[in-house]
Chains A and B, each alone.
Chain A
Amino acid sequence: MHPTNIAMISDFFHPNVGGVENHIYMLSSYLIRRGHKVIVITHSHPPDRVGVRWLLPCLKVYYIPFPAIASSATLPNFFTFMPYFRNIVLREHISLIHAHASLSSLGHEGILHAHLFGIRTVFTDHSLFGFADAASILTNKLLAGTLRNVDAVICVSHTGRENTVLRGELYHQVGDDPKSIMVNDNVYVIPNTLVADQFQPDPDFVEPPGQITIVVLARLAYRKGIDLLVATAPRICEAFPQVKFRIGGDGPKLIELLQMREKYRLQDRIELLGPVRPTDVRSVLTKGSIFMNTSLTESFGIAMLEAACAGLYVVSTRVGGVPEILPQDMISFANPDADDVFRAIEEAVKIVSMGRHDPLRAHARVKSFYDWGAVTERTERVYDSVLKSESRSLQERMHRTMQLGLFAGPIYTTILIVECIFFLFLEHFWPREDIDYVTQHWDDRNLTKFDSGQADYMPSVAEAQDTSRPA
């Protein structure tokens, strides 16, 4: 694929920490290694993280001065991002934007505006949503409006794809029956992945004879199924005197865990580690044999993958995309039910104590399954097909937008028209000649010349540093 100028747009990015943030960073750095030019556009984090910054390896980040309203997401307002967006994509000569996360309004706005500049769009959805409550109905309609004219959508699991397709109305009718629907051709499944080398099992770690450590590493919140953990941990401790728990993470359910530990006098059996930094995840994981996950919903389940990669046997609830990520012999499934979780743990304890699970072999297998290089290549293929496809005319866009629904259709069409007028207004009052175009970009070769010692630099979020170099 030809080197392309790509802009990643999302509300969620460094300095925040999380699955989406890490995904964007890793994908960008691998795309840079493959010769593309990548920039990231996100909202600022005052007072320190404002303006234009560079992250290693030569990833330029634009921090737009928008305030975050809740959980680091900005307010969806359809137009205010346009002046910034126009300036950035023009000066950086962007030809493709890749928006991430369905609750990121910056990403949505980028997709809506991109056609004015002849830029193609790709969207990645990272999470699962329901359909029943009022908040879902509203956000799903917003998503459907945005994805009406997107060029390609990437989902992280097959379950995620079914969910996104239904939420974003990315299907077409097959035959005469309106119930018989099929997914559009531009919806792809590319799994999330991890850097296997960062999760090496500890070869020196041997459990003391007759002891099995169960590791739990999660945000201690309802959605992570901490209620199930609270209900089953005392039973597990009673049934298996050799089992110890190491629980890492922080959240609203911490108190319930503490109360449970107090009530059953399990202070010497259950160790609570508190919040764990991303850099310490491996060291926590490699001090155990079984990883327990009780999530009630999970789009992909990267935590389980990291644990399996670090050589742990995984026990998980059968929810969302979790059943797709690992082969049957590396993971035990349970229904979200206290009795069944207990049964699955029993099974796992048996497998581990009989020595039927080899950590080093598990690591090698996960390493062969998941690799950022392969994921980047698959993403590139999506970009390539998007760039080669025919783009939609404004008339076609309006026609498609009108089909959104009785109310949403006219509203989104109005937004589309006002957006075009706003664009013409900007073109007139801030002519393109006045934009300060980027002429030189830092790339790998440039950097290698600068410091040859860094040539084999292995990117990772933990080690990302800022160089406050002006753009």
Chain B
Amino acid sequence: MSGVEWEKALWKPLPFPDNYIPREAFLSSLRTNPNFQPYTYWTLVRLSGAITQHLATLFTFLAVYVLLKEGLLDSRLLIWVSIACFILGFAVWTALDCTIRAQVDHRARLVKATKSSILLFLALMSLSPVLGTLTAATSSDSIWALSAFLFFLNVILADYSARQPGLHVQERLTSVLSMNAAISSSVVLASRLSDDLSVFALILFAVQLFALFPLLRHRLQASQAAVQYLLTVSISILSLLLTISISHTVTTIFAAALLSVSFVAPGVLIWAQRFKNEIRGPWDVAVPKIN
């Protein structure tokens, strides 16, 4: 046996038994964690901002709903706030467009946006009597459970990724499902309200928060970190301020949730990264490089 080197070749008759392999040759081509990139804490905190923002909008919505239901908030005020939010959001959106490319027909877009928003406004208004009595035959307990489930679905499936400006991306199925879950949940919640105007106000507000705000959020996420932090902090504070007038226990829970998502979860992820053990070797399906 001496003199003949063991080789990783099947065609060559070698004087070794079939179960032989030299110590150093075994798994010589194995690589562990080839694309390992250690996370840094503050980057993760910044990236978790999207989730915090989403949770905070959800909490804001719930607080507004309770205030509306208890009669502590005037539905007319809510409608005006929604309209103001819409105009503000549209202005920010247009401003963002201006920063990347000039050749957008602002006039035509403005006309189109106004037209569709008026259409939605009127449609919601005419539907609100129907929506208000939609679940009259269902007990309130079922409604709370259903809406909790739907909001849970919304949080799980939401699209938290940043969107590069100028790039048109196909909406993913999960993010569409997420939005639908949130809107359905607000509809079933709204059906518990007493008058048609509150129903209308709540659903209008839900459309602002769950359909339009995520679009803006994706755009803002791609912009500067300062904007990101400012937005996260302001929405979180807003949601907590609204909740504190209702219940101190709930406020504590909300605050704990927001803090753990922003500060504890990134730490846990960094701690868990030490257990990462990715195995790569010649058996992996190669990725073809085509130019």
- Is there a chain A Cβ closer than 8 Å to B271's Cβ? no
Residues in A whose Cβ lies below 8 Å from that of B19: 183, 185-189
Q: Would you call A182 and B26 a contact (CB within 8 A)?
A: yes
Give the residue of A166, A191, A223 whose beta carbon is less than 8 angstroms from that of B285.
A223
Q: How far, in whole Å, are A393 and B279 apart by their CA atoms in the complex?
A: 34
Number of A-B contacts (CB under 8 A): 106
User: Nearest A residue to B26 by beta-carbon distance?
Assistant: A183
Of B5-13, B49-57, B95-103, B240-248, which stretch is located at the interface? B5-13
A185-B19, A228-B288 are contacts. A320–B10 as well, Cβ < 8 Å? no
Q: How far, in whole Å, are A327 and B8 apart by their CA atoms in the complex?
A: 11
Smallest CB–CB gap between A407 and chain B, Å? 17
Q: How far, in whole Å, are A326 and B291 apart by their CA atoms in the complex?
A: 30
User: Nearest B residue to A295 by beta-carbon distance?
Assistant: B286
Give the residue of A128, A188, A189, A326 whose beta carbon is less than 8 angstroms from that of B11.
A326
A130-B284, A159-B282, A324-B9 are contacts. A337–B18 as well, Cβ < 8 Å? no
Give the residue of B11, B283, B288, B290 whose beta carbon is less than 8 angstroms from that of A163.
B283
Interface hits, B260-291 → A, CB 8 Å: 278-279, 281-291
Residues in A whose Cβ lies below 8 Å from that of B287: 296, 336
Give the residue of A162, A182, A317, A323 whose beta carbon is less than 8 angstroms from that of B23.
A182
- Is there a chain A Cβ closer than 8 Å to B119's Cβ? no
Chain B, interface residues (CB within 8 Å), range: 20 to 34
User: Nearest A residue to B8 by beta-carbon distance?
Assistant: A158
Q: How far, in whole Å, are A13 and B279 apart by their CA atoms in the complex?
A: 32
Residues in B whose Cβ lies below 8 Å from that of A188: 18-19
- Is there a chain B Cβ closer than 8 Å to A419's Cβ? no
Q: Would you call A324 and B10 a contact (CB within 8 A)?
A: yes
Q: How far, in whole Å, are A223 and B285 apart by their CA atoms in the complex?
A: 7
Q: Would you call A162 and B27 a contact (CB within 8 A)?
A: yes
- Please provide the 5 A-B residue pairs with the shortest distance between their CB atoms, ordered closest to farther: A128-B283, A337-B289, A336-B286, A369-B11, A188-B18
A-side residues, CB < 8 A to B, are: 128-132, 157-163, 166, 174, 181-183, 185-191, 223, 225, 227-228, 231, 294, 296-297, 299, 317, 319-321, 323-327, 335-339, 369-370, 378, 381-382
12 A–B contacts from the bound complex (CB under 8 Å): A129-B283, A131-B279, A162-B26, A162-B283, A166-B27, A183-B19, A188-B18, A190-B18, A228-B290, A231-B290, A320-B282, A369-B12
Apart from A159-B282, A327-B12, what are 8 other A-B pairs with CB-CB below 8 Å?
A160-B283, A162-B282, A183-B21, A223-B285, A225-B286, A231-B290, A337-B289, A338-B289
